[in-house]
């Protein structure tokens, strides 16, 4: 990285390129989902992230997308993680190209996302990750997240995490 990176909100004209980036990242991170349909938030990207209550940020280096992160209103789909009375968002789709890792870009993307959430009154940021994503749990703990539950499923071992803003 020899040029300063830009972190920006996704605009409608960016959506095709963002979807290509995110789907390629998803394929790398979750190859078992290769034949799965496109997730609803991505299939309805503009409605969810541009027009709706979600937020999606990208990092660009000389116009090329090199990182991404977003949040959605948390849908309270996990029993016991319902956060009554609180404004909660779910952090989703953090991905940084391998050649841009270990330089603080993921941290910068999350900090920008956290700032956007704080600005609209979000009280809790929730996420889930998996231990097979090398360094993910530790990364999020360094950002202030705490583990609130780990599912016993031997394949995914979904690790639920939160941070109060």
Burial letters for 6-19: b for 16+ Cβ neighbours within 10 Å, e otherwise? ebeebeeebbeebe
For 29-56, what is each residue's pLDDT tens digit?
Answer: 887 777 888 999 999 999 999 999 999 9
Give the whole-angstrom CA distance, residue 163 versus residue 126: 7
Here the CATH number for the domain that contains residue 44 is 3.40.630.30
Give the whole-angstrom CA distance, residue 9 versus residue 112: 10
In a domain, residue 60? The reply is yes
Give the whole-angstrom CA distance, residue 105 versus residue 107: 5
Query: Sorting pLDDT into bands at 50, 70 and 90, what band is 140?
Result: very high
Beta bridge partners of 152: none
Give the whole-angstrom CA distance, residue 101 versus residue 105: 7
In terms of residue numbers, what domain contains 20? 6-164
Contact at 8 Å (CB) between 113 and 57? yes
pLDDT at residue 3, rounded to an integer: 59
Q: Residue 8 has which token pair?
A: 């920006």
State the residue for tokens 């956060």.
Answer: 83
Torsion 45-47-50-53 (CA) sign: negative
Give the whole-angstrom CA distance, residue 72 versus residue 54: 4
For 78-94, what is each residue's pLDDT tens digit?
Answer: 988 989 999 999 999 99
In a domain, residue 103? The reply is yes
Average pLDDT over residues 149-158: 88
Q: Report pTM.
A: 0.92
Give the whole-angstrom CA distance, residue 107 versus residue 7: 12
Please choose, from the candidates 38, 88, 98, 35, the residue with its C-alpha nearest in 3D space to the C-alpha of residue 66. 98
Chain mean position to CA 164? 17
In a domain, residue 1? The reply is no
- Quote the number of domains for the chain: 1
Residue 1 in this model has a pLDDT that exceeds 70: no
């Amino acid at each position: 990285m020899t040029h300063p990176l830009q972190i920006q909100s996704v605009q409608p004209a960016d959506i095709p390129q963002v979807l290509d980036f995110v789907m390629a990242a998803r394929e790398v991170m979750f190859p078992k989902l290769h034949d799965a349909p496109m997730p609803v938030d991505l299939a309805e990207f503009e409605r969810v992230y541009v027009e709706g209550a979600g937020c999606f940020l990208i990092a660009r280096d000389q116009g090329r997308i090199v990182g991404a992160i977003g949040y959605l209103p948390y849908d309270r789909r996990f029993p016991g993680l319902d956060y009554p009375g609180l404004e909660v968002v779910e952090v989703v789709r953090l991905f940084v190209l391998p050649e841009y890792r270990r330089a603080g870009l993921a941290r910068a993307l999350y900090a920008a996302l956290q700032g956007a959430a704080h600005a609209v009154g979000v009280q809790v940021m929730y996420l889930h990750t998996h231990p097979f994503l090398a360094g993910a749990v530790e990364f999020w703990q360094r950002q202030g997240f705490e583990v609130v539950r780990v599912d016993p499923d031997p394949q995914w071992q979904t690790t639920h995490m939160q941070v109060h803003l």
